[in-house]
Amino acid sequence: MGNTSIALTIYLACASAFIGLILYFLRKRRLRRYREYLEAREHIEPHVFDDGFYCIRRDDGGCSVTVR
């Protein structure tokens, strides 16, 4: 019984460390994407309409995003 509990403890420690690493790298990737989004957003000036909607202009003149 003693060896089983030691093995289970080691297994759980390794599993939680592995899950922690996965979550760390996913969070790091998400933060990098968000930083890139914010940097790209600095160069975009939205056009605001009278009714509160605004759109981000595409190169062809259309709206890529229209939100309220």
Separation between Cα atoms, residue 8 and residue 63, nearest integer Å: 57
Half-sphere exposure of 47 (CA within 13 A, CB side): 11
Beta pairing class for 63-67 and 54-57: antiparallel
Is the pTM for the entire model greater than 0.85?
no
Domain residue limits at 47: 2-67
Count of structural domains, the chain: 1
27-63: pLDDT as tens digits: 988 888 888 777 776 665 556 666 666 666 666 666 6
Which tokens go with 20? 């922690």
